Structure 1
Amino acid sequence: MRPCSTILATAALAASVMFAVPPAAHADVTDLKVTTAFDRLDPDRVATVTVTAKSASGVTDVRANVRHPNSRADVYATLEFERVAGTDKDGTWRATFHPDVETRPGNNSVEVLVESADGATAKGYTDFRDCYQTTITDVTTGPDVIDADHPEVDVHGKVMVQKSRDVAPAPVPSAAVQGGGKAVTTAADGSFGLALNGMDPLYVRFPRQGTLCEAGTYGSTPTIAKQATQTSAWVQTLMPVAIGTGMTVEGKVLRRGAAGLVPAGDVTVEGYLNYGKPEQKLLARGYTLKDGTFQLKPAPDRSGPFTVVAGDTAFLMGSHASAGTLDVRRPVAFADINVEPEPGGYGDPLGVTGHLVSDLNGLAQARVIMEFSADGKTWRTMATQNTYSDGWFHLTTDDSKKDGYWRARYAGDSEYMPVVSGTHYIDIKYRTHIYHYNASPEPVKKGGTITVKGLLYRFRDVAGAGPNANIHIYFKPKGSSTWTKMAITKTGSDGWFKKTFTASQDGTWLARYWESAGYLGSNAPSDYVDVT
């Protein structure tokens, strides 16, 4: 333990000065000044109030009201002043007062009233603190050297009170002493001990208590043995990222303590792009938790190496670590994506159309990929094409033989982000066609028989006739625009169908195979028959 000097409060108190401004109608009293002198160690404990003032008409009376503990309290004493120097137009007035520290300890407010011959009254204010002189003595601090493992400093001392200079200081027992947010009580001999954080000012304070004045002092500042730190950092967000996108960088800061590497909590960490270079940029700031871990959320605007810096603290030396290189690119999006036809024909051309844009502008000469997936998980390339100068594209394929999902993808490059469009589910069906369609005979006599026949063909992997399929027969009379369903007939095993009708009027006969779960609708051929 080593001794240190203590700060002793002065025994004599010079009160603060306040200047009074006379009422606007009377400005006779000027240069009003009020002071109070009070020597706490004077055995007589006399407070002397001095007033200096000027008046063109002459000062006729000076008196004062004394209040405790502030200027809003009731008056408990009135002072009469005597001029001790100068004249009534420019003089000095003085009054003495014996306050009672046991009855009214602490602050006493003095309101001075100065009257002049013109009838004006000017006011001035002062105050004094009435209490017994208190000091903190015999202050020692230790240890001389502290570190992060042992950050506390013990501050010891004694609280002493001296009521007058002809009486020796005496210990103050059972009194509160404060420091570093803590409080202890003095022992019978006035002694105390406080364990304070060495990073904070080693200030101990005895607040005013009853008749005892406040006191305070500083302990000696110890030497800090700083410990080295070790920082690690890594990027959690998958690269690349679009400009301005929030990302996550995590890491940990350790310190080399007495027991080896241990977590370093409450350390400021900062994330820099291009650390150490002229164009370096601070992107994020955070703090380590108790376990030494941290998380930063930078939003970079360009690519480059990203470094995390753990700053110096009172007990630790800073360190830094590379989190890797950020890959930051301009954002890209697909717009106006369309997949057609819907449903699609087995083996027929199928197209994906859309617009590739960046910052609302079309991205020219960018390679776009058309992809297909039967399950929405595993994708394969069906076609590729470069966008036109305005960013539009139209990808087509004839390899459309399964139901499934279609999308467009841009793989990106060193400047632009990769992007995938939304998916479109397309139902693929076999095409159908009616061949050799005929409504006969033509012409036919009214009341005669009209025979409608044809061959339904299905274009599957191996094209062939469509057996046992429903064929809808429609008739539209001459001069009409309305079709009327006349019958439904089925194809035979060879795909042929035939249906007879009684001829009644001129008109057109149409056969149609409607779309089903696995097949597209037919070509709906028609034939005109003249009835005579």
Structure 2
Amino acid sequence: MRRVLNLWAAVLVVLCVSATAEGTVLAATRAETTIVSYEALVESGSRRTFYDEPFRLIARVSSDREISRVEARLYAEGASDPALSLTDFTRTSASDGTSVWRSDRYVDPPVAKYRVEISAVDADGTRTDRVMERPLHKRLKINLVEVTTDRSHADVEHPDVTVTGRLVHIDGEGTRQPVSEARVNTGNADGSTAVTNPDGRFNLRTRIAPENPSLYLWTSPGAPYGEAYHTVNAGYRLVSTRLFAEVSGSGVIGEKLLVRGRLRRWTGNGVGTGIAGMTVVLQFWEASGRAGVAHPVKTDADGDFEFSTITTGVGEWRAYFNNHGAAPEAPGYERGFARASTPAAHRTAVSGMTFAAQPTAAGDRLTVKAQIRRLKADATWSPVSAGPMSLLFSPDGKRWGVEANGLTGPQGFVSISARVPRDGFWRLDYDPEFGNDFSARSAVRYVNVKHRTSITGFDASPEPVKKGRMFAVQGQLKQYFSGTWKPLSGATVHVYFKANGTSKWTRMAAVKTGRYGGFHKPLKASRDGAWLVTYQGDSSCLGVRSASDYVDVR
């Protein structure tokens, strides 16, 4: 009997221990996992409230346990089976118990409103599911196409433009389909809008503001369509003007002088039409730099003006349009300025111009020397000291730009240096803003320079290579143009080989560079040696030689 009681006591102890152990497991802290949020990301990187292009999902999961897997399912509205399941999530970051998971592929489900369900599985296999409150809307992608304006730009005389275009979406066969009855908005202050016709086309008239010449079109037809945006740089320009002025008279102080000129609306093709009723201010500037009285005059029906006065001294008459305080502004028109020297001013000349250190490559420095002289009343020439000089360059002899400036010395000599950008014409200008000298311009000199070239990335590979097998030399040919290195296409590059133990380079092949300056020439390996390529140059580019690359032939 005692042995039976002892056995029962042992069983009770075991049961108590087991119960205690089970109770510990049940009392253990349960892992907490929460699907915090999700969002969809399109390929362009933007996040939206609806999606009209392929996207991938990003889920944020908070858990005190390691999350091993995240999945997502998209259910079309009213459907019990998922239209799309995503199981290819990768963790992209983790911090303070929250991890971010992103699906590896972009998906493009059919147009619908989707319920999103996300699941997270921890390292122990515990699964947490959540149906997200925010649905995902997939809509048809629409585009504003064939957008044009009836004018290349607007101006103060023609502020309105007509914008036409078409609103379409692409069907499953890749064909454009019209979107009708959609309102296209401009976003302009005048509130211009238009509604698309059955073919998706629209036509609207709007006014371009000078402070905002870009025309912003947008439309949001609503489901099942997305939104479309389009920016048209309609352009707003000031009316281009040209102001001309001239003087006639003996140039003798105290005698009559007639100042006349023209204000033209310039069309850009060398033809102008007169601008009537505008105020032009005429003002005489003495050689000492002192300005005379301003005389406002009105242009006539043909845009012409004239003013009769008396010659008061050596200097010049200046004409101002839209940039002088003596006359009201003319909004929407370019400023105009013209000057006309009186015959009483001194004649000057640029003489003895020489080119020192003439360059051979673009980017080298060119030094131009000359002397500026003034013709005096006794018909003798005297040097012009402290005279402002400009060294100008033109690629075609027509369009000129200042490259450097300088002042003449006590004897009228000047030396100005500038870097040479390319082949072209050079000249020196003497153009004093004040004083009693006429402007002077040197003879034009043409300088023929060449662009530097460079061979980059040259390589002979693979290396080592077995005898008789093919390998290739490749690289890129560039030219230094307008301050930067650019590919040189269509040029012939010569391939040279120097056998191991010799000093002679032998031409082996020639290859033309491609569109981006690259070249690639397959060759058959015959013996050890070094390879290089050369470009011999042409009328505009200097030649260049690459570094050599040794190929071990086995």
Q: TM-score, normalised by structure 1?
A: 0.36
| Higher share of residues assigned helix | 2
> Between Structure 1 and Structure 2, whose CA radius of gyration is higher?
1
